[in-house]
Amino acid sequence: MSPSLSAAIILVCHSLTLQAAEFQPLFPKDGVPEGWSVRKWDDVKNPADPGVVWKVKDGVLYGSDPRGTWLMSDKEYGDFVLEYEWKLGEQGNSGCGLRFPAAGDPAFDGIELQMADVRYNPQAKESELTGGLYRAVAPKKQVYKPTEWNSYKITLKGSKVTVVLNGETILDLDLDEQKETVKRHDGTDAKPLAERPRKGRIGFQELSRGGSFVEIRNARIMELE
């Protein structure tokens, strides 16, 4: 075997090993998640009411009771691949917050990838349903499976965002091209996606009705160079 071929094989093997090692579980233990904080849904600078918790049981993360919170990472992330499985009830409403700051509404001050059943809000726009970047970008197609386990693979690298839902690419876009303003819930303007942070917290939202909770399992993240 030539030295150059040997070196190439070693490099490939090292790359594969490094990639596998870089994926880290987000919720490796049962109980209250470590390295995360529970905050109010409309402004994460405000802590949740006393006694409100998210919890992991038998490897599944359950949203808060009562509703109206974010589970926010203490750590900030820039470029990464995030994978997890999730399930909602018939009036389920959740979201995955990406690169949001430690104050403000992740949906408008960072990025929120929707996880929502249409029965929660039958009048919702496509960008407010599963696979949408909240009120900004609708998914290419809707492949959400109601009340079943779904899977997300989210890749953020610089301005590029790719989202795969249940094995199908539903978003593939450049944030730099998303320059339209978005309306907040109070009717004021939020910054367009092009101007939002490229590094920040990640998190999960609980706004489900009807006594159900968002359920999340097998969540893991790999930070990219």
207 and 42 Cβ atoms separated by less than 8 Å: no
Instruction: Find the domain containing 93 and state its range.
Output: 26-223
Residues 6+ apart with CB under 8 A from 17: none
How far from each other are the two terminal CA atoms of the chain, in whole angstroms? Answer: 31
Q: Check which CATH number belongs to the domain holding 214 and give it.
A: 2.60.120.560
Please give the single-letter amino acid code of residue 115. Answer: M
Task: Look at the chain and report how many structural domains it folds into.
Answer: 1
**C-alpha of 39 from chain center:** 16
Q: Tell me: the pLDDT tens digits for 178-196?
A: 999 999 999 999 999 999 9
**Residue 115 domain flag:** yes
Please give the model's pTM, rounded to 2 decimal places. 0.90
Q: What are 191's two structure tokens? A: 């910054």
| 86/217 Cα distance (integer angstroms) | 6
* pLDDT value for 2: 53
Q: What are 112's two structure tokens? A: 């929120």
* pLDDT value for 12: 43
* pLDDT value for 185: 96
* pLDDT value for 152: 98
**Residue 9 domain flag:** no
Q: Tell me: the pLDDT tens digits for 147-171?
A: 999 999 999 999 999 999 999 999 9
Residues lower than pLDDT 50 in the chain: 3-21
**Residue 6 domain flag:** no
**Residue 4 domain flag:** no
**Residue 7 domain flag:** no
